[in-house]
Structure 1
Amino acid sequence: MPQQWLPAIYGIQIILSIATMLFILMQARGAGLGSAFGGSSAGSVFKTRRGVERLVFNITIVCVVLFAGLALLTAGLVR
């Protein structure tokens, strides 16, 4: 019986993966790669997210958690 849900779960996983990619790409970029190698970015590493930026960040986390949960569910159903 649970096998009949696999096509729907696969479709939801595809939608979640695309949404996750889009939300990751929508997030604001930081000071750049130069700051990782000691560039002059005094204070730009620690930043508080506000408004839409925080909403996009939280939605990204929810999408990743849902995708991981569905992946585990799928692995359990297929096995």
Structure 2
Amino acid sequence: MQTYLFSAEVVLGIALITLVLLQAKGNSASVLGGRNTSATYRTRRGVEKTLFNVTIVIASVLIILALVHPFLLTV
């Protein structure tokens, strides 16, 4: 049981790192023109929104596993 939990934490950690790295900010073409992209408001759509939501879900599951894991070690 402990091996499965530890393996799940490692896999979710790697997946979370990958998802965060895929969400590249500031890679817009307007940066080349010298415009400030931080002042521009835009909504997430399509794949970007799905990637954001999946990142939140995986981070939540990883936090829950990390909090539950020590209690299961004592049993």
TM-score (norm 1): 0.74
Contact 2:16 2:55 (C-alpha < 8 Å) held by counterparts: yes
Bigger drift between 52-61 and 22-31 goes to 22-31
Contact 1:9 1:74 (C-alpha < 8 Å) held by counterparts: yes
Instruction: Tell me whether 1:50 sits opposite 2:45 in the alignment.
Output: yes
TM-score (norm 2): 0.77
Which one of 39, 58, 63 corresponds to residue 63 of structure 1?
A: 58
State the aligned residue count. 68
Structure 1 residue runs without a partner (length 5+): 32-38
Taking the TM superposition and a 5 Å limit, the aligned residue runs for 1:1-79 are: 5-30=1-26, 40-41=36-37, 43-44=39-40, 46-79=41-74
Percent identity over the alignment is: 33
Query: What is the RMSD computed on CA atoms of the aligned residues?
Result: 2.2
Name the aligned partner's letter for residue 56 of structure 2.
I
Name the aligned partner's letter for residue 61 of structure 2.
L
